[in-house]
Amino acid sequence: MTKIDSVDLYYLSMPTVENVADGSQDVLLVRVRAGGWEGWGECEASPLVSIASLIAPMSHSACQPVLGSVLGQTIDSIDDVRRITALVRANSFDQLQAAHTLSGINIALCDLLGRRYEVPVHELLGVRAASPKTPYASTLFGATPDETRAEATRLAGMGFRAVKFGWMGFGESSLSADVDQLAAAREGLGPDVDLLVDAGMAWVGRPDQARARIPALHDFRVRFIEEPFVAEEFDAYGEFGTAARQVGVAVAGGEGCHNVPLALTMMTHAGLDYVQIDAGRIGGITEAKDVADAALSQGRTFLNHTFTSHLALSASLQPFAGHGAEGLCEYPVNPRPVSYDLTTTHIPVDGDGLVRIPDAPGLGVTPNRRTIATYLQQVEISVQKRILYRTPDLDVVSPADEEIAA
C-alpha cells in the first residue's frame, strides 16, 4: 500500500492583480507525493484562504484542517481518491473553503495515479478513448462595443466555431448598453459562429432585468446565457429558463457549485440546459465526473468551466471525456502569463478546430518550474509564534523542465 507523503501548496501571482473578472491572475498549485510518484493539481479559489484551510487548527470535529484527512492516507486506486474526498468532506464540513482546497488535491491525486500506472486520467475513470471537443473561445467583453467587435473578429478569424463573451459590466447598466455589446459581438463573429454570453450573476435578486434581455438574446442568436443568477436561485433560474427557451435561448450554470448535491439540485430544480462544472471548485475530477454522469442520464449537456491554466483545462475535460464527440468545451484564450506559462505543454486547437484530451499519463501536462519560480509568492502562517505553514521548497525538477533547460 502506498501512503501519501506530502501535500504542498504554491501561491503564484502576477505582480499586480487587477479588479477585473479574470481568474487567471493568480494560481494555487498543488503537488502531492506518494511512494516516489507525484501529481499536480490546481484550485480555482483565493490562494491564501485555501492555504489556511489546509492547515488551520481544528475548531471542532466538523471543522478540521484538510491536511489531516489526506496526509498518510493510502493511494492505490481511483476508489482511494473518492474515499479521501469523502473523508475531507466529513471532517471539514463546516470549513467552507475546504471544497476548493480539496479540489486541487483531488486533481493532483488523479494525476499521480495516472502517472503511476501510465494511463491518462480519463482511463482511470473508465473511459478508454476520449472524444474530441469543439472549443469555444472564452473571453471578456471589451470595455466598449468597438473593443468587443474587434475581439470577436479576431477570434472568428482564428477559426473558432463558438465564442463566449462575459462580465465587464454586462447586465449591470442599461438594456441599451447590453444590446450594443451583443450587436458588436454578433457583427464581429459573423452569422456562422455561435455566440455565447456569461452574465456573471449580473441579475442576482433582479429576475425582471434578466427577462428584459431575452428579446435581445434572441435577436442576436445567443446560443446560451450562462449564470444569470447565483447557483442557489433555483426559482429564478427555472422561470427565466422557461421564458428563454421559448425563443430558442438555452441556459447554462453550475460553476458556483462546490459539491455534488448542490450541483444535482441546481441541475434539476433550476432546469439547466448546460451543466457547467469547475473541477477546481466542486471537489475535484471524481466529483465533477459524478455530475457529468448525472447530466448525461438526464439528457442535459455537461460543460467544463475553466478560465485559467492548461493544467486546469486538462482536469476540467476529464470528467466528460466519454461524452459525445465534438460537444462544446470552454477554452480560455487570453490567460495571464502566470497561468498560460504554468505548464511546459499546452492543449492546442488542432487543424480540424477541435480540442483533443491528452492521452499521455495523468493529466498530460506538467508544471513549468521556471514559471513557478518566477511568480511564486513566499507565504508564512503562524499562530502564537508557531509556524503552521511556510511555502515548500521546489526541490525536484521534472523531466520536461530538464529538457527545456538543456
Q: Can you say whether the dihedral through the CA atoms of 13, 18, 24, 30 is positive or negative? A: positive
pLDDT of residue 399: 39
The arithmetic mean of pLDDT across residues 323-328, rounded, is: 86
Task: Summarize pLDDT for 56-105 with one digit per residue, the tens.
Answer: 998 998 899 999 999 999 999 999 999 999 999 999 999 989 999 999 99
**Are 135 and 329 a contacting pair, CB within 8 Å?**
yes
* Residue 48 buriedness (CB in 10 A; 0-12 / 13-18 / 19+): middle
Q: What is the mean pLDDT of the chain?
A: 93
Residue 133 confidence (pLDDT) above 70: yes
The closest alpha carbon to 310, from 328, 278, 335, 292, belongs to: 335
Residue 217 confidence (pLDDT) above 90: yes
Residues near 297 by beta carbon (within 8 Å), at least 6 away in sequence = none
Q: Classify 293 as helix, strand or coil.
A: helix
Task: Summarize pLDDT for 234-266 with one digit per residue, the tens.
Answer: 999 999 999 999 999 999 999 999 999 999 999
**Are 281 and 47 a contacting pair, CB within 8 Å?**
no
pLDDT category of residue 402 using cuts at 50, 70 and 90? very low
pLDDT category of residue 342 using cuts at 50, 70 and 90? very high
pLDDT of residue 24: 85
**What global pTM score does this model have?**
0.94
Domain 128-340 sits in CATH 3.40.309.10: no
For residue 83, what is its C-alpha cell?
474515499
**Are 130 and 321 a contacting pair, CB within 8 Å?**
yes
For residue 114, what is its C-alpha cell?
495516472
For residues 261 and 114, give the distance between their C-alpha atoms in angstroms, rounded to a whole number: 27
pLDDT category of residue 366 using cuts at 50, 70 and 90? very high
Give the domain ranges of the chain. 4-122+366-405, 128-340
**Are 287 and 109 a contacting pair, CB within 8 Å?**
no
Residues near 55 by beta carbon (within 8 Å), at least 6 away in sequence = 65, 67, 381, 388, 389
Residues near 115 by beta carbon (within 8 Å), at least 6 away in sequence = 37, 38, 39, 361, 362
CA 251 to chain centre: 18
**Are 332 and 322 a contacting pair, CB within 8 Å?**
no
The arithmetic mean of pLDDT across residues 356-375, rounded, is: 95
Q: Classify 104 as helix, strand or coil.
A: helix
For residue 98, what is its C-alpha cell?
475546504
Task: Summarize pLDDT for 145-197 with one digit per residue, the tens.
Answer: 999 999 999 999 999 999 999 999 999 989 999 999 999 999 999 999 999 99
pLDDT of residue 398: 42
Classify 4-122+366-405 by CATH class.
Answer: alpha beta
For residues 334 and 321, give the distance between their C-alpha atoms in angstroms, rounded to a whole number: 24
pLDDT of residue 21: 82
pLDDT of residue 18: 85
The closest alpha carbon to 66, from 94, 107, 35, belongs to: 94
For residues 104 and 43, give the distance between their C-alpha atoms in angstroms, rounded to a whole number: 4
Residue 331 confidence (pLDDT) above 90: yes
Task: Summarize pLDDT for 294-324 with one digit per residue, the tens.
Answer: 999 999 999 999 999 999 999 999 999 999 8
| Bridge partners for 303 per DSSP | 276
Length of the chain: 406
